[in-house]
């Protein structure tokens, strides 16, 4: 019997009704074309859009979609609630006009979305206002990568990030909670390298008491096998959502992870490649490649956050810890009070206004709370819904 401290899910999704229960985003009185120079109330630009393409996943990682909550009775979103590819592409185009140049597909498990390659083809044809193709990437649990790496690349995907929490097969099977073997994910990573979906990142969530013994074996494996072509990143276990029973004592601070690796394979810090980068970068002093640390709990990094998230059903979230989204889907599906559809300019203006009014810094505020408390109580969004 599991002893996990599970809290029932608070469902914030829309019922599958035609009329949305959420307020319609405001359309500004005066509409001007996006300049690509949008900035929020704290001066942060909009550069990075994460799009969740499904709320379903074939894994049941206890820290993300615990089996006890996401069981056979769990109601996933109906097909009609999901944004269609045409709707995603329309919105993505408006975000790109506002300055987005990086798009990450996520979920749920994005590779479960049927015909995803078609969406990738459409997104990869898109250009920023200065004519540059998007940096188009995808986060996956790797389970379907051996089958899909070549077709994803052919469709125009640039890179992938693969989530993998252990090298040890028994620990990995326990963590994904569907008995999925680690060898199949490793084969998926190999297939992605062979298909040219690099530089590949591998993300390991470290949960104290569960997989910290895997830190050094993971570092060793990717050093030995990939000679710098795969960047391993360690993620602090975050208090996202309300179902994983998060506890501060299960968070292993990045500083501790870094010391463990450094003792085996000496490290030195390197500069970030771009503003707003989530990971702090370090490299092996012997030239064996680099590793990253994503310290969203112990070193919150809201100051240069340039990311927006589009949920599977078209809600725009400005933060993983946001308690409410902005209902862009209704602007796509509901008529304007005049009876006509909303125009691109109107929807772009609504997005612009939402971003300009943004002044959140949830992670930093969280950091000032008592160490054993999760983020402010109330409505908290599940990672599988909003996309990681």
Which residues contact ligand SAM (rule: CB under 6 A)? 57, 63-64, 106-107, 109, 139-141, 163, 203, 205, 235, 237-238, 240, 244, 383-384, 388
Residue nearest to ligand SAM (CB): 388
- How far apart are alpha carbons 89 and 83 in whole angstroms? 10
Q: How far is the CB of 210 from ligand SAM (least distance, A)?
A: 12
Q: Distance of CA 124 to CAs 92, 102, 128, 155, 158, Å?
A: 11, 11, 11, 8, 9
Could you please report the per-residue DSSP string of 165-193? Answer: --SSHHHHHHHHSS---HHHHHHHHHHHH
Minimum distance, C-beta of residue 342 to ligand SAM, in the bound complex (Å): 30
Buried b (16+ CB within 10 A) or exposed e, 338-348: eeeebeeebbb
The nearest distance, CB 138 to ligand SAM, in angstroms, is 8
By beta-carbon proximity to ligand SAM, the closer residue of 98 and 309 is 309
Smallest distance, Å, CB 246 to ligand SAM?
7
Most distant pair of Cα atoms in the chain: their distance: 67
Q: Which long-range contacts (CB under 8 A, 24 or more apart) does 166-170 make?
A: 166/204, 166/211, 166/214, 166/218, 167/214, 167/217, 167/218, 167/221, 168/213, 168/214, 168/217
Beta carbon nearer to ligand SAM, 242 or 261: 242
Nearest to ligand SAM of 136, 235 (CB atom): 235
Residue 259: DSSP 8-state = H
CA dist list (Å): 303 to 44, 108, 186, 275: 8, 27, 35, 10
Question: Smallest gap, in angstroms, from Cβ of residue 362 to ligand SAM?
Answer: 14
Q: Which C-beta is closer to ligand SAM: that of 238 or that of 316? A: 238
CB of 208 to ligand SAM, least distance (A): 12
CA distance 342 to 361: 31
From the number of C-beta atoms within 10 Å of its C-beta (0-12, 13-18, 19+), residue 250 rates as middle
Least distance from ligand SAM to the Cβ atom of residue 356, Å: 28
Residue 112 DSSP code: G
Q: How far is the CB of 297 from ligand SAM (least distance, A)?
A: 9
| C-beta of 168 vs 334, nearer to ligand SAM | 168
Q: Which is nearer to ligand SAM, 42 or 371 (CB)?
A: 371
Nearer to ligand SAM, 175 or 316 (CB): 175
Burial class of residue 136 in the structure, from the number of CB atoms within 10 Å of its CB (0-12 exposed, 13-18 middle, 19+ buried): buried
**288: DSSP letter:** -
């Amino acid at each position: 019997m599991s002893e996990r401290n599970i809290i029932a899910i608070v469902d914030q999704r829309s019922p599958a009704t035609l009329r949305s229960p959420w307020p319609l985003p405001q359309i500004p009185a005066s509409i001007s074309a996006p300049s690509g120079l949008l900035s929020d109330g704290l001066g942060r630009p909009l550069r990075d859009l994460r799009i969740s393409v499904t709320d379903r996943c074939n894994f049941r990682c206890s820290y993300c979609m615990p089996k006890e909550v996401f069981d056979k009775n769990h109601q996933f979103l109906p097909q009609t609630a999901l944004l269609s590819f045409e709707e995603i592409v329309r919105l993505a185009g408006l975000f790109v006009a506002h300055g987005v140049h990086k798009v990450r597909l996520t979920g749920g498990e994005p590779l479960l979305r049927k015909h995803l390659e078609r969406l990738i083809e459409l997104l990869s044809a898109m250009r920023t206002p200065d004519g540059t193709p998007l940096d188009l990437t995808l986060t996956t649990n790797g389970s379907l990568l051996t089958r899909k790496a070549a077709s994803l690349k052919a469709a125009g995907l640039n890179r992938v990030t693969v989530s993998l929490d252990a090298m040890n097969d028994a620990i990995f099977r326990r963590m994904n909670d569907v008995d999925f073997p680690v060898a199949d994910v490793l084969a998926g990573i190999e297939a992605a390298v062979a298909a040219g979906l690099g530089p590949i990142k591998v993300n390991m969530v470290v949960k104290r008491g569960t997989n910290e013994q895997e830190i050094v074996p993971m570092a060793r494996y990717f050093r030995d096998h990939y000679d710098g072509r795969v960047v391993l990143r360690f993620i602090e276990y975050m208090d996202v959502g309300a179902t994983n029973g998060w506890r501060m004592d299960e968070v292993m601070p990045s500083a501790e992870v870094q010391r463990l690796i450094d003792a085996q394979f000496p490290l030195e810090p390197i500069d970030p490649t771009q503003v707003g980068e989530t990971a702090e970068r370090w490299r092996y002093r012997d030239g064996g490649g680099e590793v990253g640390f994503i310290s969203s709990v112990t070193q919150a990094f809201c100051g240069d956050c340039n990311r927006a998230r589009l949920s599977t059903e078209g809600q725009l979230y400005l933060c993983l810890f946001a308690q409410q989204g902005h209902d862009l889907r209704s602007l796509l599906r509901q008529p304007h009070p005049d009876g006509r559809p909303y125009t691109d300019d109107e929807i772009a203006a609504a997005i612009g206004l939402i971003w300009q009014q943004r002044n959140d810094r949830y992670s930093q505020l969280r950091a000032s709370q008592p160490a054993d408390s999760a983020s402010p109580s109330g409505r908290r969004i599940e990672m599988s819904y909003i996309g990681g």
